[in-house]
Structure 1
Amino acid sequence: MTPTLKSFVIIRAESSFRIFLVMGGIFLLSFVFAYTMIQPFSRLDSIESIERRLSFHPKERSNDTVDEFDEELYTFKILQLADLHFGEAEFTDWGPLQDMKSGGVIHKVIEKERPDLIVLSGDQLTGNDIDENATEYYSNLISILQSSQENIKWVMIFGNHDDAPLERKDKDGNTIYFDTKTSREDLLSKDMSFSSSFSKRGPIDMPGNNYFVPLYLKNIPVLNIYLFDSGGGALSEKIDQSQTDWLKTVSKKSSLPGVAFQHIPSSVDDFEFSDNCVGQHDDPIDAVTADSEIVRELASSKVLFLGVGHDHGNGYCCRHKYN
């Protein structure tokens, strides 16, 4: 499926903490930080080992005596890429052609929008169609990112197809399943081998790979970016209670607002699906089998935004039900 540009949202970091569910293939999110309002938050190094900082710096002013807040100076733009599905139908004519088209769209969007960070939010690959080691497809995707913008930065999470077992049809049309050719660990190791990746291994006492990356404005932490593994492939498609407990522990140690990403949507019961939703809603919502009240915890943890993917025909924004 060739991705299309879905939405653009601007959120002020000092705004009230109402979490949004956003679904879409390509989604742009800009955070505007009022630097004069930011307090010197405590360092997060005591929570997790931070080898490198994800940081951004205000653009140079033409006149250093200007005191007015300039929105352009303090905008941090995140580009979410979901469900790219490289390697799908690799032995057909249309599969490789779709990869080329997707790569072209990604390149054009990055060139136009110049994001500060890309979130690869799951199903980068269609692992169940890839006969050999899928890390080559992943390397090709990273090449597209790097050729589109100098010094581009990204983080990644997994979807339900990235490490899915290989599928083939027998002569009678029945599906035969084989062992997964490329594991989550293989793909994460490949991703982390690139110097511009800010992905990392999270705690091992939870399903999948879950972690957070703090964002610094100059030397001051201003935002936590939470990345959750919603399972699928070799894992059950759910958010485990241990993941919700981890979020609760981390957020209590930090006064920062946050944003969050996971691949498969959380329960539809957590959101106000009404005329207040903005965007495209062409697919039913295929949610995780259990989400351990992760949305309720996100809402109480000063998280502004939850970005998901999975349902290809959806690209919209809805408020959650928790005040």
Structure 2
Amino acid sequence: MSRSLLYLALLGSLVECLSLAKRYTNSSTPGAPLRFNVNGTFQISIMEDLHFGENAWDTWGPQQDINSVEVIKKVLDKESPSLVVLNGDLITGDNGFLENSTIYLEQIVAPLVQRNLPWASAYGNHDHQYNLSTDALLEHEQRWPNAMTKNMVESEDAGTSNYYLPIYPNNCTTTSAAAEKCIPELILWFFDSRGGFQYQKKDASGNRLGLPNWVDISVVRWFQQTHAVLTAKYQKTIPSLAFVHIPTYASVAFQTAGVSPHYQPGINDDVPVSPQAQGWCANGTNDRNCDYGGQDVPFMQALTTLPGIIAVFSGHDHGDTWCAKWNTRLPGMTVAGNGINLCFGQHTGYGGYGNWERGSRQIKVSMEQLRDFEVESWIRLESGHVVGSVGLNATYGRDWYPATNNTKTNCPTCNYTIVTPGPGS
């Protein structure tokens, strides 16, 4: 495809997305609670590391985005989620410009809007960039009532996508007054692990200012306080799932101890894992003299001491797709696990590094299994195949599973031999 034809195709796609935004403005009820299905289940599809907007000035950049949209469509044609989670790095903001950096969101959500699916985001390090504001990204998302993404922590250092979503039983009505009488069966927690760069800020030498790459202590305190309030309000421990783009150091420690292809099925190609607080020193400096500063310890302590949290789902490391049960004090750790499951998703987008087959991690929650704080999970690949199907239950880590085939996919229409410096570079 020629450059001009590709740009015309991309323009057509963007026009279609903008049209959808207008056409489906009232496609869901604003403020309506998320509910379990009539059969007592709730399914989540995680789309992560989409990396839209790479090298828009070369033909392969827009072609990657077109292919990524197709991945989303193929997954949703096979699965029936109640919610889609966009778990970080929606956009490669490094390549974005102030004037158009959020427009790629139109392409990402078009398949969701077409299917009238709600979605919720946890922003990643590539969403925090000099020309891409996560506050602007949130504002852009909230043009649609389908968008459940929120900002519940008003702190300068908190990041943006820190919030929770309650999931109610099916008989909970859509009116806010009636919803107040309902007790959630599940809580979904979303955290902004930040990273990348501060929006439109430079130091005295003209260098872009980096952004810490861990869940801030202000968010940890909000998490602890809000969890306590919800527990007191409903007089019960509500089962929970957590979503954060950059994994904690516990994933590094578990990987170092050993990931088994049969007991923690999945790809394990990114070694070592790139955790929160990577590249920072314990004293808070970021001068590239330290490997890891430990600033994610308060977040890990909250995850392992607050009751009811079944699993935390991360992305960031495109070549890791396994889940591990953290139920011991791992080597090199000061925080002991309590049985929480640490899971990676599947690289969904054609942008970003790596050619592992694109796909989406699925989570199926049933009200029956929640009584035992258990969920099911699997990965749906672009090819339609299912891999890594596991039960995140009391015996996970001791149960034997088939190993995951490490399949690869490429972009046949992307000419990566042409890499043009971006405008202004």
Common fold by TM > 0.5:
yes
Matching residue's letter, 1:153: P
Q: Does 1:292 align with 2:297?
A: yes
The answer (yes or no) to whether the contact 2:122–2:244 under 8 Å persists in 1 is: yes
Partners of 1:271 and 1:319 within 8 A in 2: no
Larger fraction in strand: 1
Q: Residue 139 of structure 2 aligns to which amino acid in structure 1?
A: S
Match of 1:258 among 227, 240, 249: 240
Contact 2:167–2:186 (Cα < 8 Å) also in 1 = yes
Please name the residue that 2:5 is paired with. Answer: none
How many Å separate the matches in 1 of 2:70 and 2:102? 20
1:79 and 1:186 map into 2 onto residues whose CA distance is: 24
Query: In structure 2, what is the Cα distance between the partners aligned to 1:192 and 1:86?
Result: 19
2:216 equivalent in structure 1: 240
Counterpart-to-counterpart distance in 1, 2:135 and 2:276? 22
Deviation at 1:263, TM superposition (A): 0.6
C-alpha distance in 2, partners of 1:272/1:161?
A: 25
Retained in 1: the 8 A contact 2:120–2:147? yes
* 2:266 partner letter: G
User: Of residues 73, 79, 82 in structure 2, which corresponds to 1:107?
Assistant: 73
Cα distance between partner residues in 1 of 2:247 and 2:60: 28
Matched residue of 1:315: which SS?
coil
Distance 2:275 2:163 in 1: 21
Aligned ranges 1:69-148 → 2 under 5 Å: 73-131=39-97, 132-147=99-114
2-structure distance, mates of 1:159, 1:57 = 28
Q: Please give the per-residue CA displacement for 1:34-81, whole angstroms capped at 9, x wherever unaligned.
A: xxxxxxxxxxxxxxxxx824322543xxxxxxxxxxxxx111000111
**2:146 aligns to what?**
196
In structure 2, the partner of 1:207 is: 158
Deviations 1:168-201 (A, max 9, x none): xxxxxxxxxxxx2x31111000011111111112
TM-score when normalising by structure 2: 0.55
Which residue of 310, 317, 322 maps to 2:323?
317
1:303 pairs, out of 309, 321, 324, with 309
Q: Deviations over 1:182-241 (max 9, x none)?
A: 311110000111111111121212511211111111323111110000011223111222
Q: Aligned equivalents of 1:57 and 1:263: distance in 2? A: 25
Query: Which residues of 2 match residues 31-70 of structure 1 at below 5 A?
Result: 52-59=31-38
Please tell me the residue identity of whatever aligns with 2:305: S
The 2-side partners of 1:293 and 1:281 are apart by 27
Aligned to 2:125: 160
Runs of 4+ in 1 over 6 A off after TM superposition: none
**Secondary structure of 2:74's aligned partner:** helix
Residues 57 and 83 (structure 1), Cα distance of their counterparts in 2 relative to 1, 3 Å cut: closer
> How far is the alpha carbon of 1:269 from its aligned partner?
6.1
Larger C-alpha radius of gyration, 1 or 2? 2
SS of the residue 1:294 aligns to:
helix
Say if 2:153 and 2:219, in contact at 8 Å, map to a contact too: no
**Hey, what's the Cα distance between the residues in 2 that align with 1:297 and 1:76?**
25
State the secondary structure of the residue aligned to 1:221. Answer: coil
Of 283, 286, 303, the residue aligned with 2:270 is 283
Deviations along 1:65-119, whole A, 9 cap, x unmatched? xxxxxxxx11100011110001011111211111111110110101210110011
1:292–1:240 Cα change, 3 Å: farther
Identical aligned residues as a percent: 33
Partner SS for 2:44? strand
Corresponding residue of 1:6:
none
Partner Cα separation in structure 1 for residue 184 and residue 105 of structure 2: 31
**Aligned residues of 2:128 and 2:194 also touching (Cα < 8 A):** no
Q: 1:6-39 CA deviation, whole Å, 9 max, x = no partner?
A: xxxxxxxxxxxxxxxxxxxxxxxxxxxxxxxxxx
Structure 1 residue aligned with 2:187: 224
What corresponds to 2:284 in structure 1? none
Instruction: Verify the 8 A CA contact 2:36 2:42 in the aligned structure 1.
Output: no
- Give the gaps of 5 or more residues in structure 2: 1-29, 173-182, 199-210, 232-236, 278-294, 329-336, 339-425
Aligned length: 243
Q: Is the 8 A contact 1:239 1:294 kept in 2?
A: yes
Amino acid at match of 1:295: M
Question: Residue 88 of structure 1 aligns to which amino acid in structure 2?
Answer: E
- Range 310-319 or range 212-221, more displaced: 212-221
Structure 2 contact 91–104 (Cα < 8 Å) conserved: yes
2-structure distance, mates of 1:200, 1:260: 15
Q: 2 CA distance for matches of 1:271 and 1:74?
A: 36
Greater relative contact order: 1 or 2 (C-alpha under 8 angstroms, separation 6 or more)?
1
**Contact 2:252–2:275 (CA under 8 A) maintained in structure 1:** no
TM-score scaled by length of structure 1: 0.71
* Alignment partners' CA distance in 2, 1:213 and 1:82: 19
Q: How far did residue 270 of structure 1 move?
A: 7.4
